[in-house]
């Protein structure tokens, strides 16, 4: 792969030479700032060989660099081998940001090229500002893959489906009404969005254009009178046409979005989220119209699950947890480990999920990482390169499903046989953090920054940090990563930092990642609930949605605090009470043992 990438980059450099371009910026992005992108958009992977879900490549005449975050350091190092691409470890001391790098390497008057559809307005504007002193010329019309990626996959398209209100809880018409109220409050006449999950949620539709994300490639325009859904023609069914019309909307071809923005004349200001609209689209708007740039109100609305969604989710997580319990039972009791690999184990789990009635697919490719591979946070084993399992050390499995009743995400780390005391200590400290956050009580008004340390402190006490946030929001039969909520101890500039509200659901996933040795993660999804309101304010707490036991073989009960031991025992008791009825008798009996008080 390394050699192919070298060749591709050299072809790109030839074009840069011909067209007088000094640097090309290649983000990981479709036209929608999606976290996961369809193959058509995997230009950054095409040039670097790095398959992780997050990263930015910059190619200059002299070098090619890839920026990615702590989840991917180990993986990126391996995948970049031979490509000549230099790994830039984001947030590590001394490592410049992409902007700082460009500021450093680009001479005055240099030309920086990128695809302005694949760069958000936020990122593009930021770049403009940071480089404003240097008279850099921006060329936002370059698709770096053009002419080089000859076997580029087609743009994905699937039939859009309508999500019944028995799943969505609130009709699209009501949601549109609420958004229009928000627009009025902000003094805006129109709203424009290219964010796929926002658009899906707002209209109660779903698609299948991105692997694991039930979204349809689309843009949305809304004002007080009308709304327009821009969507690929092949995605439109008769039912969809009728449905959109019945909501008071119209459908236009996906490709007409740019032209539409160049001509539409709303009765006032246009609201858009600089993170949810492309740089080119925003330029087109701002040239002609007054705009208000703000965090998407739809993201805040979508994050607070309604009562129907919550009820569906509780059942969904229960069934999903039962599948994972069956998987762990199989792994611990009936699997011939030496005949299994990370990949076959993942297949086994995926198969158990697929049996669940309203299963629609995985919410992300199952991470099944054995031994040292688990130190890579987002490792994905293929059938060929998967490690063989053995009756020792630990297997980390991070997985989830898409269901009509919700989207799940859960991680458990399991001992497959003898483990070291250090592994057990690290697992136990991870569990303490996980349980402390689960047990948190906090005043309404807290953002994720105020509570992150509950999960992280036991590891910080021993000089260990996990290089990612503690928790993310999760869509309802939508993207597995949503923000808000967002539990982290620091936020990148511009990142939204919302107050945690009752009805939000959030992951709680501390971990230990020791390169070339092992990885541990415990991820439980929590529902935020109101605990009490008194003269001091409204106190919130969490209630676990995930109901899967922690691994007793990995726990050192004496290293749990008295309080976390209580919390764990109560959690395990609930796991048994609720999950056992869904399991065959021998699995239920096993679960009883796994959930006895410690």
- What is the binding site for a copy of itself (CB under 8 A)? 93, 440-443, 445-447, 449-454, 457, 460-461, 463-465, 467, 489-490, 531-532, 534, 536-537, 539, 561-563
User: What gap in Å lies between CA 434 and CA 596, rounded to an integer?
Assistant: 19
303: CB partners within 8 A, 6+ apart:
473, 482, 484, 485, 498, 501, 504
Task: Give the chain's radius of gyration (CA, Å).
Answer: 24
543: CB partners within 8 A, 6+ apart:
526, 527, 529
Minimum gap (Å) between residue 557 Cβ and a copy of itself: 13
Closer to a copy of itself by CB, 490 or 543: give it.
490
Minimum gap (Å) between residue 539 Cβ and a copy of itself: 6
Closer to a copy of itself by CB, 133 or 585: give it.
133
Minimum gap (Å) between residue 425 Cβ and a copy of itself: 15
Closer to a copy of itself by CB, 128 or 532: give it.
532
Tokens 């909307």 label which residue? 249
DSSP state of 333: I
Closer to a copy of itself by CB, 166 or 441: give it.
441
User: What gap in Å lies between CA 147 and CA 156, rounded to an integer?
Assistant: 20
User: What gap in Å lies between CA 532 and CA 597, rounded to an integer?
Assistant: 28
Closer to a copy of itself by CB, 216 or 440: give it.
440
User: What gap in Å lies between CA 388 and CA 174, rounded to an integer?
Assistant: 52
Closer to a copy of itself by CB, 260 or 460: give it.
460
Half-sphere exposure of 563 (CA within 13 A, CB side): 10
Minimum gap (Å) between residue 445 Cβ and a copy of itself: 5
Closer to a copy of itself by CB, 116 or 471: give it.
471
Which string of DSSP letters, residue by residue, matches 424-463?
A: HHHHHHHHHHHHHHHT-EEETT-BHHHHHHHHHHHHHTTT
Which string of DSSP letters, residue by residue, matches 218-243?
A: EEEEEESS-EEEEE-GGG--HHHHHH
Task: Select from 553, 324, 546 the least CA-distant residue to 428.
Answer: 553
Minimum gap (Å) between residue 146 Cβ and a copy of itself: 40
Minimum gap (Å) between residue 379 Cβ and a copy of itself: 19
Closer to a copy of itself by CB, 315 or 537: give it.
537
User: Is the torsion defined by CA of 500, 494, 457, 372 positive or negative?
Assistant: positive
Closer to a copy of itself by CB, 463 or 585: give it.
463
Minimum gap (Å) between residue 75 Cβ and a copy of itself: 17
Beta bridge partners of 505: 527
Tokens 């297997």 label which residue? 395
Minimum gap (Å) between residue 446 Cβ and a copy of itself: 6
Minimum gap (Å) between residue 378 Cβ and a copy of itself: 18
Closer to a copy of itself by CB, 381 or 423: give it.
423
287: CB partners within 8 A, 6+ apart:
none
Q: Is 535 exposed, middle or buried (0-12, 13-18, 19+ CB in 10 A)?
A: exposed
Minimum gap (Å) between residue 526 Cβ and a copy of itself: 16
Q: Is 436 exposed, middle or buried (0-12, 13-18, 19+ CB in 10 A)?
A: buried
Minimum gap (Å) between residue 29 Cβ and a copy of itself: 27
Closer to a copy of itself by CB, 259 or 443: give it.
443
Residue 33 near residue 194 (C-beta atoms within 8 A)? yes
Could you tell me the end-to-end alpha-carbon distance of the chain, in angstroms, rounded to an integer? 50
DSSP state of 372: G
């Amino acid at each position: 792969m390394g050699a192919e990438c070298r060749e591709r980059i050299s072809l790109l450099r030839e074009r840069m030479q011909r067209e007088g371009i000094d640097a090309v910026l290649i983000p990981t992005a479709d036209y929608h700032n999606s976290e996961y992108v369809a193959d058509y958009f995997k230009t950054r992977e095409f040039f670097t060989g790095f398959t992780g879900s997050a990263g930015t490549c910059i190619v200059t005449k002299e070098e090619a660099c890839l920026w990615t975050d702590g989840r991917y350091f180990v993986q990126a190092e391996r995948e970049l081998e031979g490509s000549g691409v230099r790994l830039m470890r984001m947030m590590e001391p001394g490592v410049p940001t992409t902007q700082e790098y460009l500021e450093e390497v680009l001479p005055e008057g240099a030309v920086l090229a990128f695809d302005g559809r694949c760069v958000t307005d936020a990122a593009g504007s930021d770049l403009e500002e940071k480089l404003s002193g240097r008279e850099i010329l921006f060329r936002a019309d370059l698709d770096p893959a053009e002419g080089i990626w000859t076997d580029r996959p087609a743009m994905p398209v699937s039939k859009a489906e309508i999500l019944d209100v028995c799943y969505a809880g609130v009709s699209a018409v009501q949601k549109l009404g609420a958004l229009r109220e928000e627009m009025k409050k902000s003094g805006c006449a129109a709203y424009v969005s290219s964010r796929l999950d926002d658009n899906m949620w707002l209209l109660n539709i779903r698609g299948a254009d991105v692997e694991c994300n039930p979204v349809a490639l689309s843009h949305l325009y809304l004002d007080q009178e009308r709304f327009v859904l821009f969507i690929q023609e092949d995605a439109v069914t008769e039912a969809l046409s009728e449905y959109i019309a019945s909501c008071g909307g119209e459908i236009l071809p996906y490709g007409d979005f740019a032209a539409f923005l160049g001509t539409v004349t709303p009765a006032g200001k246009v609201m858009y989220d600089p993170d949810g609209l492309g740089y080119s689209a925003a330029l087109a708007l701002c040239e002609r119209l007054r705009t208000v740039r703000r965090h998407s109100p739809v993201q805040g609305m979508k994050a607070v699950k309604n009562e129907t969604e919550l009820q569906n989710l509780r059942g969904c997580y229960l069934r999903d947890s039962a599948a994972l319990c069956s998987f762990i039972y199989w792994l611990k009791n009936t699997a011939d480990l030496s005949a299994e690999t990370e990949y076959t184990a993942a297949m086994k789990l995926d198969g158990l999920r697929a049996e669940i009635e309203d299963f629609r697919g995985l919410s992300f490719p199952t991470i099944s990482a054995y031994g040292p591979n688990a130190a890579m946070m987002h490792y994905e084993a293929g059938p060929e390169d998967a490690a063989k399992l053995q009756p020792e050390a630990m297997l980390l499995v991070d997985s989830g499903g898409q269901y009509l009743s919700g989207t799940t995400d859960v991680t458990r780390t399991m001992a497959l046989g003898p483990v070291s005391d250090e592994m057990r200590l690290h697992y136990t400290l991870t569990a303490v953090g996980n349980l402390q956050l689960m047990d948190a009580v906090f005043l309404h008004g807290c953002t994720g920054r105020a509570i992150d340390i509950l999960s992280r402190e036991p590891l910080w006490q021993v000089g260990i940090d996990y290089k990612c946030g503690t928790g993310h929001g999760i869509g309802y039969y939508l993207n597995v990563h949503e923000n808000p909520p967002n539990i982290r101890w620091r936020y990148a500039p511009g990142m939204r930092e919302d107050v945690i509200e009752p009805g939000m659901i959030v992951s709680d996933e501390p971990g230990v990642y020791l390169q070339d040795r092992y990885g541990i993660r415990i991820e439980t999804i929590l529902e935020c609930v109101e605990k009490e309101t008194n003269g001091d304010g409204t106190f919130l707490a969490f209630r676990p949605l995930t109901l899967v036991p922690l691994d007793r073989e990995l726990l050192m009960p004496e290293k749990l605090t008295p309080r976390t031991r209580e919390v764990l025992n109560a959690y395990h008791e609930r796991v048994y009470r609720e999950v056992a009825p869904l399991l065959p008798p021998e699995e239920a009996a096993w679960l009883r043992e796994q959930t006895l008080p410690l």
